[in-house]
Chain A
Amino acid sequence: MSRLLIAGTAVALAAAVLSLGGVLRSAGATQADAPHAAAEALTSGFGAGDTTGLVTQLQHALRRAPGNVHDLDLLGLAYQQRARETGDPTWYPKSNGILNRALRLAPRDLPATSGLGSLALSRHRFALALRIGRRAVALSPSTAASYGIVGDALVELGRYRAAFRVFDTMARVKPGLAAYARISYARELRGDWAGAVRAMRLAGTAAIGQPEPSAWVQVQLGKLDWNRGSYAAAAARYRSALRAFPGYVYALDALAQVAAATGHIERAIALERRAEETIPLPQFVGLLGDLEHAAGHRRDALRTYALIGVIDRLLRANGVRTDLEVALFDADHGVTPARTLALARHAQRARPSIDGDDVLAWTLERNGRCVEALGYSRLALRLGTRDALKFFHRGMIERCLGNTAVARGWFHRAVELNPHFSVRWSPVAWKYAS
């Protein structure tokens, strides 16, 4: 396997730091771009421009009445929405500051409390999110949204039984899109594919009339199809998401994966680039790099990968924990294995979810510590989740341990479930499966 070194190129990083400003700015410009904005305004009623206007309006109102807790709440949430629209995490500390100001004025304020909870989730501070979410539930046990914060945090902390109970409570307090989507995710984690699809379809019936939530549900349904290797069905869902919400980045990113899986690599690159140029999320940039690499555009790939380091530093500087994502990226791309292992161990301790376990298992395998890796891979598959990448990781670990036949079984399972689950790894799985 090719071991691509991306770290340690300080010059590349510095150059990318400069260009990142450009990326973020041009993201704004893309959204302000006339035809795009017009299409979005027509269909969504909630374009980026509205949040910008809202922020200005609220800042203005707060200059006149700095103690207005309601306006502070709204501004804190609007800052988080800006982060979401642009991928620019510098909005997070602003949101944090404003919501804390609201809480100093009104310590039992629910929107500020749950706003800080969702912020903690966005920054991957799951133990903190759990504490805040529980405070929100205590403030108002009848408000459904707070259970979402608690449940999401519990999932990331690997406390699934408690998390699923909380999702059940949420769906009893107030069934709707937010609760149905979480139930769907829980069922998917447990390997209940049909149940997950049913719950997500129900979520879709609770999203009628709302462009972005409708598109979001379509993308989730598409991902359920994708996970089973039903690429045509997945692509149809993603295209329907784009009809509901033109330019929807999560649909573009997902379509890029389908394009790559069906052998249209240049098309995949173009789609992923559109997603990445609109909102430079690290997962978009990472996939773009992998696609460029797979297409033989080595130099483009290097440039793209370098950008991830920059985005990561920007995320960290603004309070986002990225250990797990960085560990996975570094393990996948062969970056300083020993340091990556330390990072993965740290990440798994903070986030002992099946994803944390899986990344640690994979990083251990990359470091040749396959006995220990096996234990974490078992943990990663403890819920019965049907995830081709986790199957593949297990295959690699078994292979490393010399259990060739067992390994081949896992590779088989991976490619049978989703033949092209990863641009980088499915070819390897195919090779070892035969």
Chain B
Amino acid sequence: MRALAFAVLAIALAAVGAVVAFRGGPSGATASSHREAPLIAQDPTADNTDAYVFRSPDKPDTVTLIDNVIPGEDPAAGPNWYTFSPSARYDIYVDRNGDGKPDISWYFRFKAGTPTAFLGGTQQSYTVTKVVDGKSTVVGSGLLTPPDNIGPRSTPDYHSLAQKGVQPLSDGSTVFAGQRDDPFFGDIGAAFDLVAIRQGTGATGGGKDFFAGYAVHEIALQVPVAMLDNASHVVGMWTATDRPRLQVNHGKAKTSWVQVSRLGNPLINELLIPTQLKDKWNATTPANDKQFEKYYLAPSLAALLNKLYPQFGPFKETDRTDLVAILGTGLQTPKLNYTGPTFADELRLNLSIAPTAPVGQGNRLGVLGNDLAGWPNGRRLEDDVIDIAERAVGGALIDHALPLGDGVDANDVSYQPSFPYEADPFSGFDNTKGQLYPTHP
């Protein structure tokens, strides 16, 4: 019976969500924002995995904004290829005045790919709409993603194929959207097994990168610094995904969008937000984040560190205004990227700080490693956010500096020196997930 089928699906989905939150197999190894409410784990094409914003090292007069979605893409997933969802709206937001509301928004809408013989229908056309102060302009249409990296026969010379995905927009910025190697790295299996670090305190390597070999879908923009800049030179950025609302009794109403996922700082929803508020957190705009501040003030990770490393403790478990500053308002002391008293979860980038190294070569500990061009000043691909988060929760900003980490310090493959920076994905044909069967007569 149909009702039974629904119950069956519900359980399947709930359990799959739960399982994703636990195991490290193909669907479990996912980017930093994947241990989420079951519902978001069930909708990978609307799952924001990581957001990045940094001044482009190779073009320092521009800022790169990246929205990664779809966790844990197995390159050999055919025939179930990954694409952007044609019914979703993908959003990149910039807040220029610290009020937690978007001042510039970019909306990305993708069409379903046309299934062609060998590309699995993974090449999609898309439109970019930019909204500034309520005024909406289409800045790109008929743009094309590259197909997914299927293999040398279906998608030969993938690198040049993919680079054709870098296209200009009418407002002078540049765009790319398509499959990429997941730039995130970390021993998520250990991190979510009560921070079961494999070696020492995780500062001497030895971790297992659960994201190696997996892909994501990247939406990247490169815009002139001048487009975002303001008197304070600090801007906030976050990403989100919306799906259209639907009603049983449908009329000819206009599409009304509901935000189902969002991401500013990494690891927030999975580490700080309690289960019963995860859907709500995902649906909220940073301007309304005050209601969640108490969870930033008392992170459970601090309690965990006290159990894990009693010899280094005590770690402060409550009243963590230092974390609220890093994640919710920007840092005032040291003066780095403060945007005012409004608590809002955004990546905050001080545009007056020049890039310090080519892409991938900045200090992985960012600001904690005295490299002011890294997280929590914006976020670069190479920023080791799990280690930084552990150290920050450990009290790095309140005179409690400890060499904590997960034992994985960098991505498994190098990033590209130029836009869109994230590396080509492994192909389905020669991905690293399988192993060759020995030849025999």
**A residues adjacent to B (C-beta < 8 A):** 41-43, 45-46, 50-51, 53-54, 57-58, 73-74, 77-78, 80-81, 83-84, 110-111, 114-115, 118, 121-122, 124, 139-140, 142-145, 148-149, 152, 155-156, 164, 167-168, 171-183, 185-187, 190, 195, 199, 202, 205-206, 208-214, 216, 220, 243-244, 250, 283, 325, 353, 355
Take A50-B23, A202-B244 as given contacts and tell me if A118 and B9 are in contact as well, using a CB distance cutoff of 8 Å: no
Contact of A46 with B16 in the complex, beta carbons under 8 Å: yes
Contact of A46 with B27 in the complex, beta carbons under 8 Å: yes
Contact for B11 among A80, A206, A208, CB less than 8 A: A80
- List the B side residues contacting A144 at CB < 8 Å: 39, 279
Take A140-B276, A214-B80, A355-B1 as given contacts and tell me if A145 and B39 are in contact as well, using a CB distance cutoff of 8 Å: yes
Give chain B nearest CB distance to A274 CB in angstroms. 18
A204's nearest neighbour on chain B, judged by CB, is B87
Is residue B358 within 8 Å, beta carbon to beta carbon, of the partner chain?
no
Give Cα A177–Cα B3 distance, bound, in whole angstroms.
16
- List the A side residues contacting B135 at CB < 8 Å: none
Give Cα A185–Cα B18 distance, bound, in whole angstroms.
26
Give Cα A270–Cα B437 distance, bound, in whole angstroms.
33
- Residue picked from B12, B74, B86, B283, most chain A C-beta under 10 Å: B12
Q: Which chain B residues in 70-89 approach chain A with CB under 8 Å?
A: 70, 73-74, 76-77, 79-83, 85-88
Interface string of B15-54 (1 = CB under 8 A from A): 1101101110111000000000111001111100000000
- List the A side residues contacting B86 at CB < 8 Å: 205
Is residue B258 within 8 Å, beta carbon to beta carbon, of the partner chain?
yes
Given contacts A81-B12, A143-B280, A210-B80, 5 further A-B contacts (CB under 8 A): A118-B10, A143-B39, A173-B283, A180-B246, A185-B2
10 contacts between A and B (CB under 8 A): A81-B11, A110-B276, A174-B39, A174-B258, A174-B282, A176-B260, A178-B9, A178-B10, A209-B80, A214-B80
Take A114-B14, A213-B42 as given contacts and tell me if A185 and B6 are in contact as well, using a CB distance cutoff of 8 Å: yes
- List the B side residues contacting A164 at CB < 8 Å: 248-249
Contact of A202 with B246 in the complex, beta carbons under 8 Å: yes
Give chain B nearest CB distance to A361 CB in angstroms. 16
B434's nearest neighbour on chain A, judged by CB, is A42
- List the B side residues contacting A355 at CB < 8 Å: 1, 3
Give Cα A90–Cα B18 distance, bound, in whole angstroms.
21
Take A81-B12, A142-B277 as given contacts and tell me if A243 and B79 are in contact as well, using a CB distance cutoff of 8 Å: yes
A214's nearest neighbour on chain B, judged by CB, is B80
Contact for B15 among A51, A168, A175, A182, CB less than 8 A: A51
Contact for B245 among A114, A175, A244, CB less than 8 A: A175
**B residues adjacent to A (C-beta < 8 A):** 1-16, 18-19, 21-23, 25-27, 37-39, 42-46, 70, 73-74, 76-77, 79-83, 85-88, 112, 243-250, 258, 260, 275-280, 282-283
- List the B side residues contacting A185 at CB < 8 Å: 2, 6
Give Cα A389–Cα B8 distance, bound, in whole angstroms.
23
- List the B side residues contacting A145 at CB < 8 Å: 10, 14, 38-39
Contact for B18 among A77, A122, A148, CB less than 8 A: A77
Contact of B10 with A121 in the complex, beta carbons under 8 Å: yes
- List the A side residues contacting B243 at CB < 8 Å: 175-176, 206
Contact of B25 with A45 in the complex, beta carbons under 8 Å: yes
Contact of B10 with A74 in the complex, beta carbons under 8 Å: no
Contact of A84 with B8 in the complex, beta carbons under 8 Å: yes
Give chain A nearest CB distance to B356 CB in angstroms. 36
Take A110-B276, A143-B276 as given contacts and tell me if A156 and B3 are in contact as well, using a CB distance cutoff of 8 Å: yes
Contact of A174 with B283 in the complex, beta carbons under 8 Å: yes
Give chain B nearest CB distance to A54 CB in angstroms. 6
Give Cα A42–Cα B77 distance, bound, in whole angstroms.
7
Give Cα A167–Cα B248 distance, bound, in whole angstroms.
8
Give chain B nearest CB distance to A41 CB in angstroms. 8
Contact of A208 with B10 in the complex, beta carbons under 8 Å: no
Give Cα A434–Cα B44 distance, bound, in whole angstroms.
52
- List the A side residues contacting B275 at CB < 8 Å: 110-111, 140
Contact of B43 with A45 in the complex, beta carbons under 8 Å: no
Take A110-B275, A145-B14, A174-B260 as given contacts and tell me if A190 and B248 are in contact as well, using a CB distance cutoff of 8 Å: yes
Contact of A182 with B87 in the complex, beta carbons under 8 Å: no
Contact for B42 among A143, A178, A211, A244, CB less than 8 A: A178
- List the B side residues contacting A178 at CB < 8 Å: 9-10, 13, 39, 42
Give Cα A77–Cα B46 distance, bound, in whole angstroms.
24
Contact of A54 with B45 in the complex, beta carbons under 8 Å: no
A121's nearest neighbour on chain B, judged by CB, is B7
- List the B side residues contacting A206 at CB < 8 Å: 43, 45-46, 85, 87-88, 243
Give Cα A206–Cα B1 distance, bound, in whole angstroms.
23
Contact of B10 with A152 in the complex, beta carbons under 8 Å: yes
- Residue picked from A41, A83, A167, A183, most chain B C-beta under 10 Å: A183
- List the B side residues contacting A195 at CB < 8 Å: 250
Take A139-B276, A145-B10, A173-B279 as given contacts and tell me if A209 and B82 are in contact as well, using a CB distance cutoff of 8 Å: yes
Contact of B77 with A209 in the complex, beta carbons under 8 Å: yes
Contact of A181 with B258 in the complex, beta carbons under 8 Å: no
- List the A side residues contacting B260 at CB < 8 Å: 174-176
Give Cα A186–Cα B79 distance, bound, in whole angstroms.
31
Take A140-B277, A185-B6 as given contacts and tell me if A77 and B14 are in contact as well, using a CB distance cutoff of 8 Å: yes
Contact of A168 with B1 in the complex, beta carbons under 8 Å: no
Take A176-B39, A178-B39, A181-B9 as given contacts and tell me if A187 and B248 are in contact as well, using a CB distance cutoff of 8 Å: yes
B76's nearest neighbour on chain A, judged by CB, is A42
- List the B side residues contacting A167 at CB < 8 Å: 248
Give Cα A171–Cα B39 distance, bound, in whole angstroms.
12
Give chain A nearest CB distance to B321 CB in angstroms. 27
Contact for A205 among B13, B27, B44, B112, CB less than 8 A: B112
A202's nearest neighbour on chain B, judged by CB, is B87
Give Cα A357–Cα B10 distance, bound, in whole angstroms.
25
Give chain A nearest CB distance to B198 CB in angstroms. 17
Take A54-B19, A115-B14, A143-B276 as given contacts and tell me if A208 and B6 are in contact as well, using a CB distance cutoff of 8 Å: no
Take A152-B7, A202-B246 as given contacts and tell me if A74 and B22 are in contact as well, using a CB distance cutoff of 8 Å: yes
- List the A side residues contacting B247 at CB < 8 Å: 168, 171, 183
- Residue picked from B21, B26, B80, B282, most chain A C-beta under 10 Å: B80
Pick the 6 closest A-B CB pairs, nearest first.
Answer: A140-B276, A142-B280, A81-B15, A45-B27, A45-B26, A121-B7
B278's nearest neighbour on chain A, judged by CB, is A143
Give Cα A318–Cα B274 distance, bound, in whole angstroms.
33
Give Cα A77–Cα B20 distance, bound, in whole angstroms.
12
- Residue picked from A46, A58, A171, A176, most chain B C-beta under 10 Å: A176
Contact of B43 with A84 in the complex, beta carbons under 8 Å: no
Give chain A nearest CB distance to B69 CB in angstroms. 10
